[in-house]
């Protein structure tokens, strides 16, 4: 993405001034306009410029969100939903100003239905808070994007993570949402039934819409039984290609792997530096299995045999929770570990996803591109579903380094699209990837525009994201 690709959104100065006055009067201290808090509610995670809103509202109910949206609709003022602010593609920016709606005070678990394996939560509940709340029921929510993100934000960006190969993404695990639409009406998209053929699938339309169609104020989620036993470990490989081929064989053999994560040699060096892991500085797979005591042992042994066929090993696995926790903490700390490779630099995190049969080729070409361009950019991947991430370490104040990184990301996106993949497996489009959506989906984007205009004719719901309207 080039900074010039950001969609310009015209400011409505008179409308913004009117909305600020009304919302301050109605919400009192729960409406803030200080410069620092406004900047905190815009994009802060990459080099994409921070475009702060004009005010930040802190509603505590669906009804208050409706009131905020109605005021903004009346005065034609943008509305930008905000959770924990961990999105990576500029989704929380306010290019035309407007009101950021911070949903973190909508943080109640509304219902838990253990018999039905589901729960209903407000958007400010984080994934860690939910799992703590339901732990005594013997259930858990598996979607784990790494950060302790809010569940509303995870639904809005269609988040994924390390468990996706077994449990799916937010798309598969949200049964229904309540959302406030652009005219201030609140709709509920489905009941709690596990499947339905009733009408258009508005749930899936809103999940992944990045706040451009409505603001999610509650959602019903699938839950799963906490596994009786878990085994896991790390397996080194001579090359990335060998590791990817072992993944393909594991999936094709029907081994029910819960997590299977790739780190390339550079990322493994960073993990060794940061987390003091005692593994070779080579491509490695982090693997985990869920099931019965006998089942997870059998699965681990079968994976070890497959890995050996591709030159991998030794596969050192364990069922000891503390040892597994150390391994997965190291994997989740990959971002911070990467900083040791270039102290003082910051990371631009980007992701793509390809059919698993093209994964080794895509990663190999990407590593060659990194070397050719002289970048420092470790790779990690949720390789069970063909998704991998590259963290480009750069000086965010250096225009030449930014331009080089933009060129690399553009080449990576087009490489994935050329392999019948996607420019984003889980980060979303936001501002950062909007230049590539039409290359990926062609005229389908025209129909997305029609939906956007139909549901948000004034273009007040998180404008300037995903695609231009014209």
> Domain for residue 135, yes or no?
yes
Averaged pLDDT for residues 104-133: 98
- Lowest average pLDDT, out of 75-84, 312-321, 359-368, goes to 312-321
Say how many C-beta atoms besides its own lie within 10 A of residue 361's C-beta.
14
pLDDT at residue number 3: 55
Q: How far apart are CA 154 and CA 360, in angstroms?
A: 28
Work out whether strand 99-102 and strand 55-57 pair parallel, antiparallel, or are unpaired: parallel
**241 and 175 belong to one structural domain:** no
- Look over the chain and give the mean of its residue pLDDT values, rounded to a whole number: 94
Percentage of the chain lying above the pLDDT 70 cut: 99
Averaged pLDDT for residues 100-119: 98
Phi and psi angles of residue 382, each rounded to the nearest 5 degrees, phi first? -85, 70
pLDDT at residue number 324: 87
- Lowest average pLDDT, out of 56-60, 67-71, 310-314, 328-332, goes to 328-332
> Domain for residue 295, yes or no?
yes
pLDDT at residue number 46: 83
The pLDDT-based confidence of 277 (bands split at 50, 70, 90) is confident
Beta strands per DSSP E along 243-301? 257-263, 284-291
Residues pairing with 251 in the sheet: none
The DSSP call for residue 226 is P
Q: What is the pLDDT of residues 347-394, one digit of tens each?
A: 999 999 999 999 999 999 999 999 999 999 999 999 889 999 999 999
Say how many C-beta atoms besides its own lie within 10 A of residue 390's C-beta.
26
Say if residue 314 is preceded by a cis peptide, omega within 30 of 0: yes
Q: Is the pLDDT of residue 304 over 70?
A: yes
Burial of residue 186 (number of CB atoms within 10 Å: 0-12, 13-18, 19+)? middle
> Domain for residue 465, yes or no?
no
The closest alpha carbon to 130, from 145, 151, 116, 147, belongs to 151
**219 and 234 belong to one structural domain:** no
Asked whether the beta carbons of 137 and 112 are under 8 A apart, the reply is yes
Q: Is the pLDDT of residue 193 over 80?
A: yes
Q: Into how many domains does the chain fold?
A: 4
**216 and 245 belong to one structural domain:** no
pLDDT at residue number 44: 87
Dig out the tokens for 213 from the structure. 């169609």
**219 and 113 belong to one structural domain:** yes
Burial of residue 468 (number of CB atoms within 10 Å: 0-12, 13-18, 19+)? middle
CATH number assigned to the domain comprising residue 329: 3.30.70.2190
Averaged pLDDT for residues 8-37: 97
Domain boundary among 225, 251, 267: 225
The closest alpha carbon to 286, from 309, 315, 319, belongs to 315
**373 and 416 belong to one structural domain:** yes
Q: Is the pLDDT of residue 4 over 80?
A: no
> Domain for residue 238, yes or no?
yes
Q: What is the pLDDT of residues 30-63, one digit of tens each?
A: 999 999 999 999 998 888 899 999 999 999 999 9
> Domain for residue 437, yes or no?
no
Edge to edge, the sheet with strand 55-57 lists 31-32, 55-57, 99-102, 79-82
**261 and 305 belong to one structural domain:** yes
Averaged pLDDT for residues 393-408: 93
**291 and 390 belong to one structural domain:** no
Q: What is the pLDDT of residues 126-179, one digit of tens each?
A: 999 999 999 999 999 999 887 899 999 999 999 998 888 999 999 999 999 999
**20 and 77 belong to one structural domain:** yes
**217 and 113 belong to one structural domain:** yes
CB contact burial 140-150 (16+ within 10 A = b; e otherwise): bbbbbbbbebb
Give the containing element (helix H, strand E) for 291.
strand 284-291
Q: How far apart are CA 155 and CA 161, in angstroms?
A: 13
Asked whether the beta carbons of 190 and 196 are under 8 A apart, the reply is yes
Asked whether the beta carbons of 55 and 20 are under 8 A apart, the reply is yes
Domain boundary among 336, 371, 390: 336
> Domain for residue 379, yes or no?
yes
User: What is the DSSP annotation of 13-75?
Assistant: HHHHHHHHHHHHHHHGGGEE--HHHHHHTS--SSSSPP---SEEE---SHHHHHHHHHHHHHH
Work out whether strand 379-382 and strand 387-394 pair parallel, antiparallel, or are unpaired: antiparallel
Q: What is the pLDDT of residues 222-273, one digit of tens each?
A: 999 999 999 999 999 999 999 999 999 999 999 999 999 999 999 999 999 8
CB contact burial 334-348 (16+ within 10 A = b; e otherwise): bbebbbebbeebbbb
Domain span at 64: 3-104+450-455
Averaged pLDDT for residues 187-191: 97
**218 and 115 belong to one structural domain:** yes
**126 and 220 belong to one structural domain:** yes
Q: Is the pLDDT of residue 1 over 80?
A: no
The closest alpha carbon to 356, from 416, 299, 309, 403, belongs to 416
Secondary structure (3-state) at 374: coil
> Domain for residue 183, yes or no?
yes
> Domain for residue 460, yes or no?
no
pLDDT at residue number 276: 86
Q: Is the pLDDT of residue 217 over 90?
A: yes
**238 and 138 belong to one structural domain:** no
């Amino acid at each position: 993405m080039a900074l010039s690709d950001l969609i310009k959104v015209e400011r409505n100065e008179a409308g913004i001034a009117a909305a600020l006055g009304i919302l301050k009067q109605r919400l009192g201290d729960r409406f803030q306009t200080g410069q620092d808090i406004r900047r905190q509610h815009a994009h802060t995670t990459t080099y994409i410029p921070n475009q702060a809103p004009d005010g930040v509202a802190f509603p505590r109910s669906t009804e208050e969100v409706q009131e905020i949206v109605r005021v903004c609709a009346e005065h034609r003022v943008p509305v930008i939903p905000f959770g924990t602010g961990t999105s990576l593609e500029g989704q929380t920016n306010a290019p035309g100003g407007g009101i950021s709606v911070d949903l973190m005070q909508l943080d109640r678990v509304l219902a838990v239905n253990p018999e039905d394996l589901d729960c209903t939560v407000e958007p400010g509940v984080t994934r860690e808070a939910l799992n703590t709340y339901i732990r005594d029921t013997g259930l858990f929510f598996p979607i784990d994007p790494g950060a302790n993100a809010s569940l509303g934000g995870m639904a809005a960006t269609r988040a994924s993570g390390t468990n996706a190969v077994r449990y799916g993404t937010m798309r598969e695990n949200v049964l229904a949402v309540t959302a406030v639409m652009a005219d201030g009406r609140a709709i509920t998209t489905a009941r709690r039934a596990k499947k339905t053929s009733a009408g258009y699938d508005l749930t899936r339309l809103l999940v992944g819409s990045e706040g451009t169609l409505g603001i999610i104020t509650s959602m019903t989620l699938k839950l799963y039984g906490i596994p009786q036993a878990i085994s896991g470990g790390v397996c080194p490989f001579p090359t990335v290609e060998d590791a990817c081929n072992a993944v393909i064989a594991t999936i094709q053999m029907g081994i029910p792997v819960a997590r299977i994560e790739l780190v390339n040699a550079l990322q493994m060096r960073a993990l060794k530096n940061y987390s003091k892991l005692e593994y070779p500085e080579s491509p490695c797979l982090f693997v985990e299995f869920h099931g019965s005591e006998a089942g997870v042992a059998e699965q681990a042994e079968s994976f070890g045999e497959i890995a050996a066929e591709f030159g991998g090993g030794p596969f050192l696995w364990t069922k000891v929770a503390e040892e597994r926790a150390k391994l997965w903490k190291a994997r989740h700390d990959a971002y911070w570990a990467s900083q040791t490779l270039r102290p003082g630099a910051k990371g631009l995190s980007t992701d793509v996803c390809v059919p698993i049969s093209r994964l080794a080729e895509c990663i190999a070409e990407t590593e060659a591109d990194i070397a050719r361009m002289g970048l420092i950019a470790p790779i990690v991947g949720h390789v069970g579903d063909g998704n991998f991430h590259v963290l480009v370490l750069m000086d965010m104040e250096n225009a030449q380094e930014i331009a080089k990184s933009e060129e690399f990301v553009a080449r990576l996106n087009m490489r994935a699209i050329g392999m019948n993949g996607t420019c984003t497996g889980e980060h979303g489009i936001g501002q950062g990837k909007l230049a590539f959506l039409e290359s990926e989906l062609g005229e389908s984007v025209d129909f997305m525009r029609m939906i956007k205009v139909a549901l948000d004719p004034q273009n007040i719901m998180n404008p300037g994201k995903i695609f231009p309207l014209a």
